[in-house]
């Protein structure tokens, strides 16, 4: 599903116009992004948790050349699905 399809389904489900649905989606994305840039987690109970995780600097080996190179430390966004989401997906996947 892409953003347009999501907006269409949200508009139908919530009784919004497509333009209104796009504004809601963009607003949610903006709020989550702003929170993550401040290293604040966003917890949507039953759905999941958006958070920031730190990765340590590492040394890797290029398999083609055998040369070592360094990968710098960085901060990455992460999503951890909630219990309800996991259970719902597992039930639907079995069918």
- DSSP 8-class letter at 27: H
The percentage of residues in the chain with a pLDDT greater than 70, rounded to a whole number, is 99
- State yes or no: pLDDT of 66 exceeds 90: yes
Considering the chain, what is the average pLDDT of its residues? 94
Average pLDDT, integer, range 69-95: 91
Residues 6+ apart with CB under 8 A from 73: 54, 55, 56, 57
pTM of the complete model: 0.80
Dihedral of the alpha carbons of 64, 65, 70, 75, in degrees to the nearest 10: -20
């Amino acid at each position: 599903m892409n953003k347009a399809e999501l907006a269409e389904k949200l508009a139908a489900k919530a009784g919004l116009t497509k333009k209104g649905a796009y504004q809601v989606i963009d607003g949610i994305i903006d709020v989550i992004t702003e929170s993550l840039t401040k290293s604040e987690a966003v917890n949507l109970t039953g759905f999941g948790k958006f958070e920031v995780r730190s990765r340590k600097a590492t040394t890797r080996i290029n398999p083609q050349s055998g040369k070592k190179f360094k990968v710098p430390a960085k901060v990455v966004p992460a999503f951890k699905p909630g219990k309800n989401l996991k259970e719902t997906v597992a039930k639907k996947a079995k069918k």
